Amino acid sequence: MRYRIHHQTVYKYESSVSYSHHVARLRPSVTPRQTQGSFELKVTPAPDSLSHSIDYFGNACSYFGLTTPHKKLVIDSYSQVTVKPQQSIDLDLSMPWEMVRDILRTSHLAPDLAAAEFTFASPLCPYMPELADYARQSFQKDVPILQASKDLTSRIFKDFKFDPKVTTVATPVSEVFEKRAGVCQDFSHFQISCLRSLGLAAAYVSGYLRTEPPPGKERLIGADASHAWVSIYAPQIGWTGFDATNNVLPGQDHIHVAKGRDYLDISPVRGTVFGGGTQTLNIGVTVSEDE
């Protein structure tokens, strides 16, 4: 599938911003299943400086600064990507999860060492004994890690309600667990905390969903904004994605943008603003098939 993506971020400020600096992670990643076409970033007002680099986790970043006073900032990104079909994965052939946990603690192989960084707690994904208990219902003795991860994904989908009104970006995982509700970001942080509390490696993935589904298929939840899911590491297999919001393994409907420990590592736009007072934020995403 070939896609065109338009992601628009609009900040409106109560008073004039004198100057600001921002980092954007809006350029889709290059992965074994995803190739990148064109990419354009348009900032209004025009920035005084604009540069691009790759961050610690391998994500494409754009840095820009403005010294023109402004009360409105518009960031438009235009992308073209091609996503290949997901190869069939036999989840039962993955290692028992306890073996994976032990490998992540002791292995000196480069892929395992790199994955082990994602076993540690991060600002938005803490270790919690009660989340380990919740996860163990899926991660029973000798269950293959990917089969257990699929079961955990399905349980979160069934036990939690998608409701954008009950949480914010700052809502902690403990509150999401208590309310049993939230959005894709909350479900991803919750699932990651469950997995890391068991000593497993889990990463937060940001991206997009196809806005309009193929004929005969239901529209996926979260298709009008940036989406989030998790990626779980299994030795000899690598990283495998799981989307608890929709109870699916990410496929051609999912477009990968960035990967990190949690949302704070890879938020689409972050910055430092001098002045401005109270601000409002509006985000719109359109994903269409590229004929």
Q: Can you give the CATH number for the domain in which 75 is found? A: 2.60.40.2250
φ/ψ (deg, to 5) at 123: -50, -40
Q: Based on the fold, state whether residues 204 and 170 are members of the same structural domain.
A: yes
Whether the predicted pLDDT of 214 surpasses 90: no
Report the pLDDT value the prediction gives residue 73, as an integer from 0 to 100: 97
Kindly state the average pLDDT of the residues 95-118. Answer: 97
Whether the predicted pLDDT of 112 surpasses 90: yes
Q: Based on the fold, state whether residues 128 and 241 are members of the same structural domain.
A: yes
Q: Based on the fold, state whether residues 38 and 154 are members of the same structural domain.
A: no
pLDDT bracket for residue 220 (50, 70, 90): low
Q: Based on the fold, state whether residues 47 and 143 are members of the same structural domain.
A: no
Cα–Cα distance, 201 to 186 (Å, whole number): 18
Q: Based on the fold, state whether residues 6 and 146 are members of the same structural domain.
A: no
CA atoms within 13 A on the CB side of 96: 7
Q: Based on the fold, state whether residues 187 and 252 are members of the same structural domain.
A: yes
17-49 pLDDT, tens digit per residue, is: 999 999 999 999 999 899 989 999 999 999 999
Cα–Cα distance, 130 to 178 (Å, whole number): 11
Whether the predicted pLDDT of 120 surpasses 70: yes
80-90 pLDDT, tens digit per residue, is: 999 998 888 88
Report the pLDDT value the prediction gives residue 27, as an integer from 0 to 100: 96
Q: Based on the fold, state whether residues 99 and 242 are members of the same structural domain.
A: yes
pLDDT bracket for residue 168 (50, 70, 90): confident
What mean pLDDT value characterizes the chain? 94
Kindly state the average pLDDT of the residues 229-249. Answer: 96
If one compares 224 and 113, the residue with the highest pLDDT of the two is 113
For residue 262, the SS3 value is coil
Q: Based on the fold, state whether residues 191 and 240 are members of the same structural domain.
A: yes
Kindly state the average pLDDT of the residues 202-219. Answer: 83
Report the pLDDT value the prediction gives residue 290, as an integer from 0 to 100: 81
Convert 1-39 to b/e letters by CB count within 10 Å (16 or more is b).
eebbbebebebebeeebeebbbbbbbbbbeeebbeeeeb
Kindly state the average pLDDT of the residues 253-257. Answer: 94
Report the pLDDT value the prediction gives residue 136, as an integer from 0 to 100: 97
Kindly state the average pLDDT of the residues 208-226. Answer: 72
Amino acid (one-letter) located at 83: V
Overall number of domains in the chain: 2
Report the pLDDT value the prediction gives residue 222, as an integer from 0 to 100: 58
Kindly state the average pLDDT of the residues 258-281. Answer: 95
Report the pLDDT value the prediction gives residue 192, as an integer from 0 to 100: 98
Report the pLDDT value the prediction gives residue 89, as an integer from 0 to 100: 84
E-assigned strand segments in 105-152: none
Q: Residue 105: give its domain's CATH number.
A: 3.10.620.30
State the residue range of the domain holding 31: 2-84+267-289
Whether the predicted pLDDT of 193 surpasses 70: yes
Whether the predicted pLDDT of 224 surpasses 70: no
Specify the pTM.
0.93
Q: Based on the fold, state whether residues 256 and 278 are members of the same structural domain.
A: no
Cα–Cα distance, 252 to 259 (Å, whole number): 18
Report the pLDDT value the prediction gives residue 237, as an integer from 0 to 100: 93
Report the pLDDT value the prediction gives residue 217, as an integer from 0 to 100: 74
Whether the predicted pLDDT of 123 surpasses 80: yes
Q: Based on the fold, state whether residues 11 and 50 are members of the same structural domain.
A: yes
Cα–Cα distance, 217 to 213 (Å, whole number): 6
